[in-house]
Chain A
Amino acid sequence: MAFQILLNIGLAIIWMLLRQDFSPVEFLIGYVVGLVLLYVLRRFLQFDFYFRRVIAIVKLIFLFLWELILANIDVIKIVLSPKLDIKPGIIAVPTKLKTDWEVTLLASLISLTPGTLSMNFSDDGKTIFVHSIDVPDKEAMIKQIHNSFEKAIMEVTQ
């Protein structure tokens, strides 16, 4: 992946040298030309096209922003309701992510979403203990949300 980015930047610099114009616009055009060439010959390099991961990262950011808005609305509902009929609890969320980096990212995304907070990891790093503000009616749903985060992270790093 790093090699492809390096090659793409190199192609953009060669493009600027050919055009004898060292403006950011020319760099951008050269970068796009290199990107198209890399896409056309993507199966020629032994690993897959790197821009797919960039798209996956953008998708992950938008997914996170969307979840953030939804969770904030939920927390506002709880705070503003006159009766405090919530049932806080701690759930163990098993994760299929392998590297430490991925698990850390998943845990921080969970923490940044209001209402849920990742407290600790199991010893093997395969389970995250999540404290949630309102469990009984939501456990299945939260698991599903975490699965969507997990899936998006796996798309980036697989």
Chain B
Amino acid sequence: MKSSLMLHTITRIVAFIILSFSVFLFFAGHNNPGGGFIGGLMTAAGLLLLYVSFDLKTIKRVIPFNYTTMIATGMLLAIGTGVVSMFLGDAYLTQYFDYFQLPILGETELTTALPFDLGIYLVVVGVALLSILTIAEDDA
């Protein structure tokens, strides 16, 4: 399709900017607006832009994620973070955090809320894209 040439060219750059912004939002969630949900939606939006500007078959080859497994992985990660605190003798989903001196990065605060957020992120990306793609592929 010659008519969508400009769309293709700009998508190639803009998709990367949207996706890096979504990663920023994901990590900003602890102290600023952001977090797993909005980061996941933004990633889904970035990937959706690819699906919209190119045809479905091309992008299926480019992004070989199975969104069903992605939802399951995210749920397992979120539940697993909660269960770990049960094994350590605290209530379900107790949050632990500490400051670590990492090489290069310097002093960093690492919390168990981050893997939980990652689980949410994966579920949101999976659910959003799976529902949209299921509707898109429905020929009947």
Contacts and interface: CB of A to CB of B under 8 A. Distances in A.
A joins B in a complex? yes
Interface of A: 7, 11, 14-15, 18-19, 25, 28-30, 33-34, 37-38, 40-41, 43-45
Given A25-B106, A45-B12, A19 B63 contact: no
Interface string B4-24: 000000001101110111011
A41 B23 contact: no
Contacts of A18: 21, 24
A65 to B, nearest CB: 25
A11 B105 CA distance: 19
Contacts of B23: 33, 37
Contacts of A29: 105
Given A25-B104, A25-B105, A28-B104, A37 B20 contact: yes
Contact of A14 (B17, B61, B105, B106): B17
B12 A44 contact: yes
Interface in B103-120: 104-106
B62 interface: yes
Contacts of A45: 12
